[in-house]
Amino acid sequence: MAFFLLVLKTLIFVAGLCLLGQFIVGIFNWGRRHENFVYQVFEIATRPVVRFVRLITPRVVLDQHVPLVAFLLLFFAYWAVGFWMRDVCLEDLTQKGCEGFARVRMEAPR
């Protein structure tokens, strides 16, 4: 279970970084950002997340704001999965993916 949570947390992190990278690349040339190759690569990487967020958000949310909502959802999901992983790892430190928690537990003063 901990390994699955580690993979999920990493995927959320990568998607969030791609959204952030897309925004940073877009800042440099906002009017023609859709013509930028790097922006398009980030757009391809983030398309599944943005489409999913578009499905779950009400129509009141404008399409141009959906990537921001997606980034915020990924931010909170990253922390939620992190806390869930911590709880799972503290129940059984021998699971794959809990090496960091086990190392900290061994080094902690008693």
- Bigger pLDDT: 95 vs 80: 80
* Domain range enclosing 91: 2-107
Q: What's the residue count for the chain? A: 110
The count of structural domains within the chain is 1
Q: Are 7 and 78 in contact (CB under 8 A)?
A: no
What is the tens place of the pLDDT at every residue in 30-58?
Answer: 889 889 999 999 999 999 999 999 999 99
Other Cβ atoms closer than 10 A to 19: 23
Alpha-carbon distance of 16 to 3, in angstroms, equals 20
Average pLDDT, the chain: 92
What is the tens place of the pLDDT at every residue in 57-74?
Answer: 999 999 999 999 999 999
Q: Are 19 and 88 in contact (CB under 8 A)?
A: no
Q: What angle do CA 22, 65, 76 make, to 5 degrees?
A: 75
